[in-house]
């Protein structure tokens, strides 16, 4: 057992301190930083500080009530009234205002408003004028009616038993399982090179002859799988940290509502871990077995491409899953070890996945993972001294 942990530690240390691993850790925060920068630039481009004009021929804005400073807008633009369109157009041409709205005399009958601009205005200015117009249309109504109309409807959809809730503010909470399934695919793809080369490199360098004199093939393969799994967990935890940081910054500093209520209940977290962990072990063991069976690392990388195709099957069926989350095909893919994590997490966004399906999926994936680890050990034992030769599938079951 000590040898197994020693192999695991050496495998972990060998990959964690590589430059490419450090780069993979920093890739997510770099992407997040670029996204935040892009959002900041978009916010700046939409927040034109110049005033916004309006020409009212309907009389709706004759006694204009301004939008309160405590509104949902971080940057309020000045709204400048004009008696006629000619001075408004002159102000627009000279750059004094960014645009102006024109309300015709029959506005109350047609609800038709014209926006005149040289360069399209941002959504922030559009929403502010809509609120300004709506606030004046509601003039004289009770304050509670005005507040309800200005805030707009908040639609909350609940299941009959109250176990699930869907609303705009909890959108990210419902999407997190889907993000987790995509993260699993990325982690498998990024670690495929480690897994393929876990044994193939020892075979090519002929250090396998030394290793087998002091450790059994099962201990060697189990130690390598454990070490690489620890590498992937380290990467996943770092991504989780940076993802939480992104949610905190987006919700607290940028004020995005859909990032302010990002949470998952404990049962959802347990289901995600339970269905994803054995599936990762399954893929890891199969890729390691492929690395032990081939004669060169390059051949193993070609085999890894086949496994990559299997991972994308659920995403190719995304439309069918969304339209029929409880169809026989989707339920069958939920039980299949290769596709179960992605399908179950997608279905979890749309419906309540029955407990028996989750339990069955976990059991089947665990059995398949155990079989894959056994197959990896057999592959290593059968091909560890076959330099430059491929190992045929039938030979795995003929040799003891």
pLDDT band of residue 100 (cuts 50, 70, 90) is very high
Rounded to whole angstroms, the Cα distance separating 131 from 122 reads 15
- Residue 179, domain member (yes or no): yes
Closest Cα partner for 317 from 333, 306, 300, 294? 333
Closest Cα partner for 247 from 237, 238, 256? 256
Residues 149 and 206 in one domain: no
Q: Average pLDDT, stretch 335-347?
A: 84
Tens of pLDDT, residue by residue over 19-28, are 777 777 777 6
Residues 275 and 201 in one domain: yes
Residues 208 and 327 in one domain: yes
Residues 260 and 146 in one domain: no
Q: Average pLDDT, stretch 384-399?
A: 55
Task: Name the domain count of the chain.
Answer: 2
Query: How confident is the model at residue 115, as a pLDDT?
Result: 92
Tell me how far apart the 2 most distant CA atoms of the chain are, in Å.
95
Residue after which a domain boundary falls, among 94, 119, 153: 153
Query: How confident is the model at residue 91, as a pLDDT?
Result: 92
Residues 137 and 189 in one domain: no
- Residue 38, domain member (yes or no): no
Residues 103 and 188 in one domain: no
Which residue range(s) make up the domain with 78?
47-153
Residues 84 and 178 in one domain: no
Residues 299 and 262 in one domain: yes
Residues 100 and 200 in one domain: no
Residue after which a domain boundary falls, among 102, 121, 153: 153
Tens of pLDDT, residue by residue over 165-179, are 665 555 666 666 677
Residues 269 and 338 in one domain: yes
Task: Check the CA dihedral 71-77-81-84 and report its sign.
Answer: negative
Residues 261 and 317 in one domain: yes
If one compares 272 and 360, the residue with the highest pLDDT of the two is: 360
- Residue 16, domain member (yes or no): no
The pTM score is 0.62
Residue after which a domain boundary falls, among 153, 188, 208: 153
**Average pLDDT of every residue of the chain:** 76
């Amino acid at each position: 057992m000590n040898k197994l942990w020693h192999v695991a530690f050496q495998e972990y240390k060998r990959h964690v301190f590589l430059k490419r691993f450090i780069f993979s850790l920093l890739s997510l925060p770099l992407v997040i930083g670029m996204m935040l920068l892009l959002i900041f630039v978009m916010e700046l481009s939409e927040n034109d500080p110049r005033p916004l004009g309006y020409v009212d021929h309907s009389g709706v804005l004759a006694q204009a009530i301004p939008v309160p400073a405590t509104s949902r807008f971080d940057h309020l633009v000045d709204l400048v009234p004009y008696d006629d369109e000619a001075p408004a157009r002159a102000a627009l041409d000279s750059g004094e205002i960014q645009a102006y709205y024109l309300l015709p005399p029959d506005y109350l009958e047609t609800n038709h408003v014209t926006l005149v601009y040289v360069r399209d205005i941002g959504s922030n200015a559009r929403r502010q004028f809509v609120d300004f117009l709506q606030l004046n249309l509601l003039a004289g109504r009770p304050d509670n009616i005005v507040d309800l109309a200005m805030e707009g409807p908040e639609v909350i959809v609940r299941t009959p038993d109250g176990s699930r809730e869907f609303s705009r503010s909890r959108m990210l909470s419902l999407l997190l399982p889907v993000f987790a399934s995509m993260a699993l695919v990325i982690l498998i793809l990024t670690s495929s090179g480690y897994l393929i080369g876990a044994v193939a490199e020892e075979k090519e360098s002929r250090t396998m002859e030394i290793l087998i004199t002091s450790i059994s093939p099962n201990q060697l393969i189990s130690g390598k799988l454990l070490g690489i799994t620890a590498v992937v967990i380290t990467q996943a935890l770092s991504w989780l940290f940076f993802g939480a940081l992104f949610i905190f910054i987006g919700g607290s500093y940028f004020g995005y509502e859909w990032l302010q209520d990002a949470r998952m209940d404990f049962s959802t977290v347990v289901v995600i871990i339970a269905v994803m962990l054995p599936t990762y072990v399954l893929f890891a063991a199969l890729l390691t077995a492929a690395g032990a069976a081939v004669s060169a690392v390059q051949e193993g990388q070609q085999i890894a491409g086949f496994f990559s195709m299997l991972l994308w099957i659920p995403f190719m069926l995304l439309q069918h899953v969304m339209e029929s989350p409880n169809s026989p095909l989707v339920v069958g893919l939920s039980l299949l070890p290769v596709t179960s994590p992605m399908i179950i997490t997608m279905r979890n966004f749309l419906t309540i996945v029955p407990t028996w399906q989750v339990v069955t999926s976990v059991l089947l994936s665990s059995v398949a993972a155990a079989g894959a680890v056994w197959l990896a050990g057999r592959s290593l034992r059968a091909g560890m001294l076959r330099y430059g030769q491929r190992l045929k599938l039938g030979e795995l079951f003929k040799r003891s």
